[in-house]
Chain A
Amino acid sequence: MSETPVAVRGLTKHYGTVKAVNDLSFTVGAGQVCGLLGPNGAGKTTALRMLVGLAHPTAGNTQLFGTTVQPGCPELRRVGTMIEHASFVPHLTGIANLRYYWEAGGDRFEDADVDGSLAVAGLGDAINRKVKTYSQGMRQRLGIARSLLGRPELLVFDEPTNGLDPQEMRAVRALLRRVGDEGKTVLLSSHILSEIEQICTHAVVMDRGKLVATGTVAELIASGASAYIETDDAERSRAVLGAVPGVAGVRDESPGCVVELDGATRPQLVAALVAAGIGVQTVTSRHALEEAFLGLVGEETERHIGKGA
């Protein structure tokens, strides 16, 4: 497959004087699991709506597999979507909802990947119950099953774990990881940083409708310039780490320390500590993306405030 599954170019959406999305550009390559990351109100959902033809851009365009998106365009057949929470016709059963959703597109239900989708959803006999009896988690799982019916090459999910309890969140994340492992391209929006870090290979960071950063999750974490390290000699390790080239600073965060990176990598830090005879107990990326995200969005916010002043 040579076409780029997702290409967003200069995408802009104004609601009156509000710029919900402002000159947003990014691409998602084949096989990537890309997180669209941003705080609430960053414009993620609006961008995804435009991507699948639900909303009209004020300027710019979105492309799916090299074709500019129009409402109802044929390329949507290659895409599975779940924009915001999964919704269904409440008086129909789960399976009837899948059938009528699928057949509305002019396709035969027999040609859809019903068994595969139902296996992913794991709803069992509940698939024959009316959807109005479903929990939110069951609806989300049915929503994911619906998005998989056409064996899509691209999945577009908007905050798929929103409103779920921790157990349901874990199940949905596992499901998304499995989908990603199968080689499908996934574009997933979320404001939950750990979710992006757990599931995604790439990320696009948005704030106030604008692109803040894009790259692999590893690159973004590196750009976040921090690592949390615990050793058996905190005082000496701070001195050693401070001398490593590419370290911008070390600050105490008992019982360990946080190293601000400016080019150095975590393996280099560990190597320096080991070389100095210091035992390394923990090197964690627990807050890595969070710090990267806050750093990126914080810079943008500061610039914004600065301009406003």
Chain B
Amino acid sequence: MLRLLRTEIVKTLRRPRTWIALGFVTLVPIIIAIAIKASPPTLEGGRGGPGGGRVYLVAATQSGLYMPIAALRIMSQFFLVVVICLFAGDAIASEAGWGNLRFLLTRPIARGRLLVAKLGVAALFGLIATLLVALAGLLVGGALFGFGNQTIPQLGVTQSTGALLGHLALSVLLITWGLSGVAAFGFMVSTMTDSSAGAIFGAVGLYLVTSILGAIDSIGSIRFGMPTYYLDSWSDLFRVGSMTDDMWRSIFAQVPYVIVFVGIAFWWFHRKDVTS
């Protein structure tokens, strides 16, 4: 299994698309930091409430420690979703698209083991992408704004550097896991098609649809069951300073989606006739 995992990691690492995606998630926080340095934002004229994303941009201009939070907040709305869906949707479909899947499966590899390895690698690179956003934000934030003032009145809570960094690490995990339901859908579609673009766009499409539905109050409590409804709750760590109920809901909301989508992926892939 370790050899299989290693081969899958190396195949992903040597793929130009991987570097483009990881480069992109690294570059965007740098661009955001430069932009807010050049033109510092204010809370006026935007959604500046305690839960809004704008407050983290304002906070980032006062301490670079808040830059990764601002970057994560912006990136997790869409760009990071696309990148995580890319790794999930590519998993099997790209192999099938190259016509290499049928050769891989003529090795004595149980299909389940291959899927576990592919799923593990997709999860790993999804986590790396989220981590890169945080690290790039932290480095560029420190370089442009310093790591000084951590008392941000607009956030209503002051945290030590250690607590902030700890919460940042926890945020990376929460965001990645918060997108796991959508990514699992991309992974499932990836086992059913030879087109990785189809699987990626399918997952991104699910994210957009559930996000839109989640914003419609009139559909009632159904929206609370959407996989991405509580996605932004991780930022409570920097307003409240501890895990909130919404963060736990975000964690548990993924479980049924991951179980169902990954379960279907395994079932489908086991009974699939591999032709590509």
Chains A and B belong together in one complex: yes
Let me know if B106 and A92 touch, CB within 8 A.
no
CB distance from A140 to the nearest CB of B (A): 13
Let me know if A72 and B4 touch, CB within 8 A.
no
Residues of B within 8 Å of A90, CB to CB, are 98
Residue A87 lies at the interface, judged by CB distance under 8 Å to chain B: yes
Map CB proximity to A onto B151-180 as digits: 1 under 8 Å, 0 otherwise.
Answer: 000000000000000000000000000000
Residues of B within 8 Å of A101, CB to CB, are 103-104, 107
Q: Is the interface of A mostly helix, strand, loop or mixed?
A: loop
Residue A276 lies at the interface, judged by CB distance under 8 Å to chain B: no
Residue B273 lies at the interface, judged by CB distance under 8 Å to chain A: yes
Residues of B within 8 Å of A39, CB to CB, are none
Known A-B contacts A83-B102, A100-B11, A146-B103; A49 and B109 likewise in contact (beta carbons under 8 Å)? no
Residue B110 lies at the interface, judged by CB distance under 8 Å to chain A: yes
Instruction: Determine the distance from Cα of A296 to Cα of B137 in the docked complex, in whole angstroms.
Output: 73
Instruction: Determine the distance from Cα of A205 to Cα of B114 in the docked complex, in whole angstroms.
Output: 35
Known A-B contacts A91-B15, A91-B16, A103-B4; A72 and B111 likewise in contact (beta carbons under 8 Å)? yes
Map CB proximity to A onto B104-134 as digits: 1 under 8 Å, 0 otherwise.
Answer: 1111111101100000000000000000000
Instruction: Determine the distance from Cα of A84 to Cα of B274 in the docked complex, in whole angstroms.
Output: 12
Count how many chain B residues have C-beta atoms less than 8 Å from C-beta atoms of the other chain. Answer: 32
Instruction: Determine the distance from Cα of A100 to Cα of B106 in the docked complex, in whole angstroms.
Output: 13
Known A-B contacts A87-B100, A88-B98; A53 and B11 likewise in contact (beta carbons under 8 Å)? no
CB distance from A163 to the nearest CB of B (A): 13
Let me know if B102 and A89 touch, CB within 8 A.
no
Map CB proximity to B onto A75-91 as digits: 1 under 8 Å, 0 otherwise.
Answer: 11101011111111111
Residue A71 lies at the interface, judged by CB distance under 8 Å to chain B: yes
Instruction: Determine the distance from Cα of A206 to Cα of B14 in the docked complex, in whole angstroms.
Output: 43
Chain B residue at smallest Cβ distance from A54: B274
A-B contact count (CB 8 A): 98
Residue A59 lies at the interface, judged by CB distance under 8 Å to chain B: no
Residue B99 lies at the interface, judged by CB distance under 8 Å to chain A: yes
Let me know if B106 and A76 touch, CB within 8 A.
yes
Residue A19 lies at the interface, judged by CB distance under 8 Å to chain B: no
Residue A55 lies at the interface, judged by CB distance under 8 Å to chain B: yes
Residues of B within 8 Å of A72, CB to CB, are 105, 107-111, 113
Let me know if B99 and A87 touch, CB within 8 A.
yes
Let me know if B14 and A87 touch, CB within 8 A.
no
Residues of B within 8 Å of A56, CB to CB, are 271, 273
Let me know if A54 and B104 touch, CB within 8 A.
no
Let me know if A92 and B14 touch, CB within 8 A.
yes
Residue B10 lies at the interface, judged by CB distance under 8 Å to chain A: yes
Instruction: Determine the distance from Cα of A53 to Cα of B10 in the docked complex, in whole angstroms.
Output: 26
Residue A183 lies at the interface, judged by CB distance under 8 Å to chain B: no
Chain B residue at smallest Cβ distance from A106: B3
Residues of A within 8 Å of B110, CB to CB, are 71-72
CB distance from B90 to the nearest CB of A (A): 12
Instruction: Determine the distance from Cα of A77 to Cα of B109 in the docked complex, in whole angstroms.
Output: 10
Instruction: Determine the distance from Cα of A60 to Cα of B183 in the docked complex, in whole angstroms.
Output: 38
CB distance from B11 to the nearest CB of A (A): 6
Instruction: Determine the distance from Cα of A77 to Cα of B106 in the docked complex, in whole angstroms.
Output: 9
Between A72, A82, A84, A107, the greatest number of chain B beta carbons within 10 A of the residue's beta carbon is seen for A72
Let me know if A91 and B107 touch, CB within 8 A.
no
Let me know if B3 and A104 touch, CB within 8 A.
yes
Chain B residue at smallest Cβ distance from A52: B106
Residues of B within 8 Å of A106, CB to CB, are 1, 3-4, 108-109
Residues of B within 8 Å of A108, CB to CB, are 3
Q: A73-B108, A76-B106, A104-B3 are in contact. List 9 more A-B contacts (CB 8 A).
A: A49-B273, A49-B275, A77-B108, A88-B100, A100-B11, A101-B103, A106-B4, A107-B3, A146-B103
5 pairs of residues in contact across A and B, judged by CB atoms under 8 Å: A54-B102, A71-B111, A82-B103, A104-B107, A106-B1
The chain A residues found within 8 Å of chain B, CB to CB, are: 49, 52-56, 71-77, 79, 81-92, 96, 99-108, 146
